[in-house]
């Protein structure tokens, strides 16, 4: 990972269209991006698409539009990446929701490639002996996360997956920082309670 001091220089160069700087920033954000996209997809879209394919689509869009990036502060690249990821996932979900391609009619499944990329981000010290356990934990987490209300899923994704500062999360959700912290606390408590259910 790039140190914080180096990130500012990279962001500045990226705002001038420097492809190498954009690629380095993307590489730095890749673990968060994979997890965010995977959770954002939901079970219906995961039944049809692999997380890694959508992440590649996001990266392609970012690289193709690198001249459109404008540096306005430390978190600007992550904001741009987040907005692009949301758009790519939403467009793909819309594509599959059309009647002849309705993924909601199919049984959700966890694809092996998705497991590998998300497990790398979510599960630390993943070894071959822990793969079965990690796979079950990830599937259980996905099921619990999918049952949460939209605002709970969003605040967890922004605050815990993307690790945005509370001020940034509050701005994105249109709430005060205190309300956002309360929402995050409730969301994590609800997720924990769901995970504790037999």
Verify that 189 and 164 share a domain, yes or no: yes
Residue 138 resides in a domain: no
Verify that 26 and 117 share a domain, yes or no: yes
Cα–Cα–Cα angle for 151, 153, 158, rounded to 5 degrees: 95
Return the pLDDT at 80: 86
Residue 141 resides in a domain: no
User: What average pLDDT is seen over the chain?
Assistant: 80
Please classify residue 8 by burial: count the beta carbons closer than 10 Å to its beta carbon, then call 0-12 exposed, 13-18 middle and 19+ buried: middle
Verify that 97 and 23 share a domain, yes or no: yes
- SS3 (DSSP) at 1: coil
Q: Is the pLDDT of residue 39 over 60?
A: yes
Verify that 126 and 194 share a domain, yes or no: no
Verify that 108 and 152 share a domain, yes or no: no
Question: Is residue 136 very low, low, confident or very high in pLDDT (cuts 50, 70, 90)?
Answer: confident
Verify that 50 and 93 share a domain, yes or no: yes
Rounded CA separation 146/40 (Å): 10
Q: Nearest-CA neighbor of 56 among 71, 69, 37?
A: 37
Q: Is the pLDDT of residue 4 over 60?
A: no
**Most confidently modeled of 108-122, 123-137, 154-168?**
154-168
Verify that 116 and 192 share a domain, yes or no: no
User: Which of residues 130 and 87 earns the better pLDDT score?
Assistant: 87
Return the pLDDT at 198: 66
Which CATH number is 169's domain given? Answer: 1.10.10.10
Residue 140 resides in a domain: no
Verify that 127 and 152 share a domain, yes or no: no
Domain count, the chain: 2
- What is the average pLDDT across 2-14? 71
**Most confidently modeled of 68-72, 102-106, 108-112, 171-175?**
171-175
- Domain encompassing residue 16: 4-133
Return the pLDDT at 151: 93
Residue 142 resides in a domain: no
């Amino acid at each position: 990972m790039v140190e914080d001091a180096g990130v500012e220089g990279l962001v500045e160069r990226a705002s001038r269209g420097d492809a190498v700087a954009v690629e380095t920033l993307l590489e730095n954000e890749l673990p968060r991006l994979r997890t965010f996209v995977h959770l954002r997809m939901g079970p219906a879209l995961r039944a049809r698409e692999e997380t890694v394919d959508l992440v590649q689509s996001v990266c392609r869009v970012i690289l193709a539009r690198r001249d459109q990036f404008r540096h306005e502060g430390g978190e600007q690249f992550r904001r741009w990446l987040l907005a692009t990821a949301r758009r790519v996932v939403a467009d793909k979900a819309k594509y599959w929701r059309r009647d002849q391609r309705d993924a909601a009619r199919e049984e959700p499944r966890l694809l092996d490639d998705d497991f590998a990329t998300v497990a790398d981000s979510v599960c630390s010290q993943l070894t071959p002996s822990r793969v079965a356990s990690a796979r079950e934990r990830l599937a259980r987490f996905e099921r619990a996360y999918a049952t949460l209300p939209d605002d709970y899923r969003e605040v967890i994704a922004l605050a815990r997956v993307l690790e945005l500062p509370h001020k940034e999360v509050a701005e994105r959700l249109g709430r005060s920082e205190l309300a956002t912290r309360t929402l995050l606390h409730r969301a994590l408590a609800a997720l924990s309670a769901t995970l504790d259910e037999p």
